[in-house]
Every structure is written in structure tokens, then in C-alpha cells.
Copies of this chain bind each other. A is one copy, B any other.
Amino acid sequence: MPVSEFDIIKQYFDRQHPQREGISLGIGDDAALIKSHAGQTLAISIDTLNEGIHFPVNTSAEDIAYKALVVNLSDMAAMGATPVWFTLALSLPEPSTNWLEAFANSLFEIADKYNVTLVGGDTTRGPLSITIQIAGQLNNEQAMLRSGAHVGDQIYVTGTLGDAALALALKNQDASNSNETTYLFSRLNRPIPRVEIGQAINSIASACIDISDGLFADLGHILKLSNVGAQVKLYQLPLSTQAQTLLLKHTELYDTVIKGGDDYELCFCIPKDKQAQLETLSSNFECNITHIGEITDSKELQCLDESGNLVSDFIQGFDHFVKQQ
């Protein structure tokens, strides 16, 4: 069993060869060396996952590695950037061969899939914690910021909302072994970073964020930084059929759809005159996108029911919605 940091790095993490163009030096020295192209703009993001906080104790090494990289890939998606390289800081209570092997295999599987290269890292002793910093490249220096939304822009989300939060909420309930919860747990543990969609909409979206803290919290960041408000049509929020089935039994959990994080879908704003362009683009998207509302000058985040009336009680609003499906 390898015990030193150097053994661990060499055996498990120094395996992406040949290296991508521009990476003059990868793992193994005091720093990696990365050559920039002229005028290149890098998007830089860092995220930590701690055991017991961001994932339950005893989550598999594969799922941890997957999610640690994906939450960072999702940040790149939200900026419209192409992921290029990342660094890994891994704190482990005790180096275990099996755990490291499984972790590294999963990490490189997702890294290879998204063509992103591990260039360096730090492996050290401590409570289980994974920090990844990722760098992405932007075409034409253009990024989708949280601050770019304008009154009249149309609000969209990718995929479905609330699946991951429902999985967590139902973990200890009777329903925890149903087909529905199995699906929801796959959404919690294996969210899909919407990297391609982010790149595709970068030239037409006015603002974008990935939904890590829940639709309302994250859309709220766009509204605050853009100094605008929004009207969201509750009845349009996209739910998976599995979530719908379970919400009918667990009406007390309706608000996970707007408050639940961890789905890593994108929420983005499109100027009205670009909607046709979005429709064309979306035929190639890996998942559905759903039009959920509009940016307003109200400075508030308002919810509407099907009749266009303001809904003040989320639970009530969702009640109406879910039963209609």
C-alpha cells in the first residue's frame, strides 16, 4: 500500500498522457507550467466538497470524485467556458489503496469525457475533503455573467429541478428504495454538467448561473447583481416524472423544487429577439430547456399561477401545479 504523498500521486494521479497542448509541465514539480494563447481569457473557479456536509458519510469514492469535478465543470458551463485544466487538493484520513484507485478511476473518467487535464495537486492527511480548482477557456473573451440580465429577458432552465434535494429529503423514508428514489439519487450523485449547452448559449444569453443552491436562491443572485426582478411561472417549472410521483405522496416537500440545490442545471436569460435562435440551437441540446419566466423591473422575485395571479405561498402554488400534471 502506498503511504507517501509522492507514491500516491505517481500511482494514482499522474496518468493523463500525452498532455494537452499548452501544458508544458504537469504533475511532479513545485508548480505546473501552462502556456497561454495570445489574448486568451481564462475562467477560474474553485469548489470544495467536505464529507458529511456536501456528501453523506460512506458515499462511494467514485461518486465523490465524479461530483467534485462536476460541480467545477458546472461553473465553467455557467460562464460558457470550455474546461481546460484543473488542480486537485485531496485531504484523506488514511490512504487506502481501494479508495484511491476508485477515486482516481472515476475522476479521470469524467476528466477524459470533458477533455480537462489534471495539472497538479496536493494530497495530504485530514478529514475527507476534496477541493478542485478548474480553468476554462473563453471564446471571443465572452462570458455569461450574473450581472447581465435586462428587463424583458426570458428566463430558462435546463433539465429538471429539485431531483437531488428530493433524494436527500427522502433518504430515510419508506420510499427510499423505490425506482423513483433510485433515479433521484443518480441525479444527486451524478449530476450532468451542462458544459455544451453553456458554450452554445454563450453568444446569446444575457446572464447565466448554475443551480447549486436552488432555483430561487441562484436566480436571486442574477436579479441582485443585474438590479432587476423576475416573474416565474410556477406551473412551468420542469419536474422529472419521478419527482412528480413522489411529490404527490410527499406534499410537504414541494418547495424542494425551488429551494433544493445540487441539481447543477443552468438558469439563464435570453433577450426576446434571441429566442428564435435559442429554439434552433436547442434541438441539439442533450436535455430539454424550459421557459419559466421573464425578467421584470420590479426588483422582486414573483411567482405566478396558471391564471397569471401572484402566488404568495410556494407550497400552495406547487400543490396546484403538481396535481395538474
Contact = CB atoms under 8 A, between A and B. Distances in A.
Interface of A: 6, 24-25, 28-48, 50-54, 75-76, 78-79, 81, 85, 87-89, 91, 119-122, 124-127, 129, 131, 133, 136, 138, 141, 143, 145-147, 208-210, 221, 225
Across the A-B interface, the 7 shortest Cβ-Cβ residue pairs: A36-B36, A50-B126, A38-B38, A31-B43, A30-B78, A31-B45, A46-B87
Contact of A119 (B37, B44, B138, B147): B44
A88 B46 contact: yes
Contact of A40 (B35, B127, B129): B35
A74 to B, nearest CB: 8
Contact of A31 (B39, B75, B89): B75
B124 A126 contact: no
Given A48-B91, A50-B126, A122-B46, A37 B34 contact: no
A34 B41 CA distance: 5
Contacts of A209: 30
A89 B46 contact: yes
Which of A76, A121, A126, A138 has most chain B Cβ within 10 Å?
A: A126
Q: DSSP majority for the A interface?
A: strand
Copies per assembly: 2
Nearest to A136: B31
A31 B47 contact: no
B210 A30 contact: yes
Contact of A44 (B32, B39, B89): B32
Given A31-B76, A36-B41, 16 more contacts: A25-B143, A30-B45, A30-B210, A31-B75, A33-B42, A33-B143, A35-B40, A38-B38, A44-B87, A45-B120, A46-B87, A46-B122, A47-B89, A48-B129, A50-B127, A89-B131
Contacts of A41: 24, 33-36
Given A47-B89, A131-B131, A133-B133, A36 B42 contact: yes
A51 B91 CA distance: 11
Contacts of A54: 124
A159 to B, nearest CB: 17
A39 B35 contact: yes
B127 A48 contact: no
A50 B146 contact: no
A136 to B, nearest CB: 7
